[in-house]
Chains A and B, each alone.
Chain A
Amino acid sequence: MAAPQQETVNLNSLSPHQLKTLHDQLEEEVEHLSVSMQTLKNTQQRYLESKESLSELKEDNVGKDMLVPLNSSVYVPGQLADASTVVVDIGAGYYVEKSVKEAEEFFKRKMDFLKQQMEKLQPSIQQKYQTKQIVAQLLQSKVMQAQAQQAAPQKA
């Protein structure tokens, strides 16, 4: 599966200039995919934090004083009124009231989904990275060949 010759263009037939262009393009693609991968990891981390924060919603915390955020810099004092249900953001502007258990299951589903997506993405990144390495090596050997020919010109 590794052979680049399986692509429609035989890498060996490309000029050094074309190889450099291909190399740069692959590097950009690897970079782009790596950023996507990082975004997936960050989102997964946020879901994990949400899930863990649910554990504070214990029945014995009902009635306890707490600070309620009005925005990221303003809080008001309040009390925990209900530890049995939460309202969860499911995306696209929709929020659903769930029991704590259902919310935990929701977050777990999301995290598993993200894990799947990351597992799908990883092989693509690796393959592109390896192709990029091969192109870089080929480019280097061609450049060295060209330099050697210049140093010792032979009339064929």
Chain B
Amino acid sequence: MAQVDIKTKEEFQREIEGLESKQKQISKCVEVHEKLEGQLNENKIVKEELDLLDSDTKVYKQTGPVLVKQDVDEAKVAVQNRVSYISTELKKQEKVIQDLQKGQEQHKEKLKQIQSRLTPPTAQKA
């Protein structure tokens, strides 16, 4: 009986560690996701502003402390590309989070199973 308990304890410990590590990973991924969302929204707003401009308006792009003159249409394309890129990154991140959450659920299930294996023997003793 004691042997079974040790093995089960180890399994329990493993599942708990797995669960904790998944939770940490999920937190990090959620942070990245939020940052990407912020960037996406900012770029979308900039795109809208650029769309309101005539083609001869002066636009400058900031590189470090320097403002470099840019063509309106070039700027529009550049921002549009950024929007597309960030959208793809965002979707990738969402998939990663979903997979991690599935893994988390699996750990929780295993923990439940282990717990139900542990409790009946104690109930029988009483």
CB contacts between A and B, total, < 8 Å: 46
- Pick the contact of A97 from B49, B58, B75 — CB < 8 Å? B58
Do B67 and A95 touch across chains, with their CB atoms under 8 A apart? Answer: yes
Do B49 and A93 touch across chains, with their CB atoms under 8 A apart? Answer: no
Do A91 and B45 touch across chains, with their CB atoms under 8 A apart? Answer: yes
Assembled-state Cα–Cα distance A98/B49 (Å): 12
Interface size class of B (residues with CB under 8 A): 10 to 19
Do B46 and A92 touch across chains, with their CB atoms under 8 A apart? Answer: yes
Do B45 and A87 touch across chains, with their CB atoms under 8 A apart? Answer: no
Closest A residue by C-beta to B39: A92
Does B118 sit at the interface, judged by CB under 8 A? no
Closest A residue by C-beta to B75: A94
Assembled-state Cα–Cα distance A156/B59 (Å): 81
Collect the chain A residues with CB atoms within 8 Å of residue B67's CB.
87, 95
What does the 1/0 interface line of A53-95 toward B look like (CB < 8 Å)?
A: 0000000000000000000000000000000000100111111
Instruction: Known contacts A87-B67, A90-B49, A106-B49; decide if A96 and B42 are in contact (CB<8 Å).
Output: no
User: B95-119: which residues lie under 8 A (CB-CB) from chain A?
Assistant: none
- Pick the contact of B62 from A94, A98, A106 — CB < 8 Å? A94
Instruction: Known contacts A87-B67, A91-B42; decide if A96 and B62 are in contact (CB<8 Å).
Output: no
User: A18-74: which residues lie under 8 A (CB-CB) from chain B?
Assistant: none
Assembled-state Cα–Cα distance A94/B63 (Å): 10
Do B49 and A95 touch across chains, with their CB atoms under 8 A apart? Answer: no
- Pick the contact of A92 from B43, B57, B58, B63 — CB < 8 Å? B43
Collect the chain A residues with CB atoms within 8 Å of residue B82's CB.
92
Mind listing 14 A-B residue pairs with CB under 8 Å?
A: A90-B46, A90-B50, A91-B49, A92-B43, A92-B46, A92-B79, A93-B62, A93-B63, A95-B62, A96-B57, A96-B58, A97-B57, A97-B60, A106-B49
